[in-house]
């Protein structure tokens, strides 16, 4: 920052010297020169920031165009000085116009040529803080859930995690709730956030940005993610749908867990513990280790026992997966009856 400020100051001094070269320069002309030079230096600093988001082709083309523009400026100034042989204020104003105009035209035309003709080997980023693929916004549900910390520890997640101030306020509000269960969930969320903050590969940024015109927290989250070019991490199915409708990419941890569950095919035999009675008459309900519900036909009598069951069908929904089965002994008995005719 200091070096850029010094560069702008030197640019102002260079502009002042250029104006003072004029034969009739009096009064506040030096101040005009300093101002124009400083503004030019500031624009160059802004351009340096912009270069971080440009492709290799644009940078090469713009550099070549700028060099040609400066060469044309020097040529025009030399020819003008030889022909007219004047050193008036108006002459130096014209020289300054050429000094700014030709390089600018060369810069723009060269950048356009480079963009069209020179292939880029690196993807362009839309955000100064990193690739949009590494930018993620955490919502309240995924922080409280806690599995995001486990994914970060295993190295599956990295990059920058944005936590907007309004999400942090919501977490604090839950942690201060009079309901003991909500209070425990809120404090767990704050602990998880603190745990992620200490991880080396994760950059957690609490952003003091709010949108007063937007009332809903979920709507604010979508607007924030669109502005940052980031993806939303959530377990909220409704937020997932709303964000996708507005063109914001979503990372849903529940969907990831569903994708990682072991595949169970119809006809396969598995051993389960029948835990309770099902909704339909005679049904029993069991669960896999990952929480998948298994419905077992005619297994009410087997509640509290481990039994072998045969998978008949699998129902996959956005909310999860259900496996429908029947007792293996019933299936074998039916097959035997069919074989006997």
The two structure tokens encoding residue 242: 């709303």
Please check whether residue 119 is in contact with residue 111, taking contact to mean a CB–CB distance below 8 angstroms.
Answer: no
**Could you tell me which CATH number the domain at 132-259 has?**
3.40.50.1010
pLDDT digits (tens, 9 = 90+) for 227-247: 888 999 998 888 989 998 999
Q: Are strands 320-327 and 306-317 parallel, antiparallel or unpaired?
A: antiparallel
pTM for the whole structure: 0.49
Per-residue confidence at 92, pLDDT binned at 50, 70, 90?
A: low
User: Can you give the pLDDT at residue 130?
Assistant: 47
For the cut 80, the answer to whether the pLDDT of residue 120 exceeds it is: no
Range with lowest mean pLDDT among 95-109, 186-200, 211-225, 287-301: 95-109
**Could you tell me which CATH number the domain at 264-340 has?**
2.40.50.140
Q: How many whole angstroms separate alpha carbon 65 and alpha carbon 102?
A: 9
Q: How many whole angstroms separate alpha carbon 66 and alpha carbon 43?
A: 14
The percentage of the chain sitting over the pLDDT mark of 90, rounded to a whole number, equals 25
Q: Where in the chain are the domains?
A: 2-117, 132-259, 264-340
Mean pLDDT (the chain, rounded) = 78
Residue 84 CB neighbours (<10 A) = 11
Q: How many whole angstroms separate alpha carbon 200 and alpha carbon 152?
A: 10
Range with lowest mean pLDDT among 78-92, 113-127, 214-228, 318-332: 113-127
Q: How many whole angstroms separate alpha carbon 10 and alpha carbon 4?
A: 10
Per-residue confidence at 35, pLDDT binned at 50, 70, 90?
A: confident
């Amino acid at each position: 920052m200091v070096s850029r400020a010094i560069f702008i100051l030197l640019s102002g001094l260079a502009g002042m010297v250029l104006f003072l070269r004029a034969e009739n320069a009096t009064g506040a002309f030096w101040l005009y020169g300093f101002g124009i030079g400083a503004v030019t230096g500031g624009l160059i600093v802004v351009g340096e920031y912009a270069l971080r988001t440009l492709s290799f082709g644009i940078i090469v083309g713009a550099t070549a165009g700028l060099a040609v523009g400066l060469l044309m400026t020097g040529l025009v100034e030399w020819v003008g000085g030889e022909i007219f042989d004047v050193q008036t204020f108006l002459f130096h104003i014209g020289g300054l116009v050429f000094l700014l105009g030709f390089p600018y035209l060369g810069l723009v035309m060269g950048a356009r040529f480079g963009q069209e003709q020179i292939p880029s080997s690196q993807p362009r980023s839309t955000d100064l803080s990193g690739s949009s693929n590494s930018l993620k916004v955490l919502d309240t549900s995924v922080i409280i859930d806690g599995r995001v910390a486990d994914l970060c520890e295993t190295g599956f997640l990295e990059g920058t995690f944005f936590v907007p101030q309004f999400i942090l306020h919501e977490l604090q509000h839950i942690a201060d709730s009079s309901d003991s269960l909500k209070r425990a969930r809120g404090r767990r969320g704050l602990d998880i956030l603190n745990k992620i903050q200490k991880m080396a590969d994760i950059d957690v940024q609490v952003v003091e940005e709010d949108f007063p015109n937007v009332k809903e927290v979920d709507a604010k989250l979508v607007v924030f993610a669109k502005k940052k070019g980031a993806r939303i991490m959530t377990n909220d199915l409704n937020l997932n749908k709303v964000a996708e409708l507005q063109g914001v990419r979503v990372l849903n941890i529940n969907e990831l867990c569903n994708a990682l569950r072991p595949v169970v095919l119809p006809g396969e035999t598995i051993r389960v513990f029948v835990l309770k009675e099902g909704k339909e008459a005679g049904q029993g309900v069991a669960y896999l280790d990952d929480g998948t519900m298994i419905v077992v036909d005619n297994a009410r009598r087997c509640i509290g026992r481990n039994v072998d069951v045969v998978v008949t069908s699998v129902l996959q929904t956005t909310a999860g997966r259900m496996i429908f089965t029947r007792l293996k002994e019933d299936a074998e008995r039916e097959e035997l009856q069919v074989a006997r005719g």
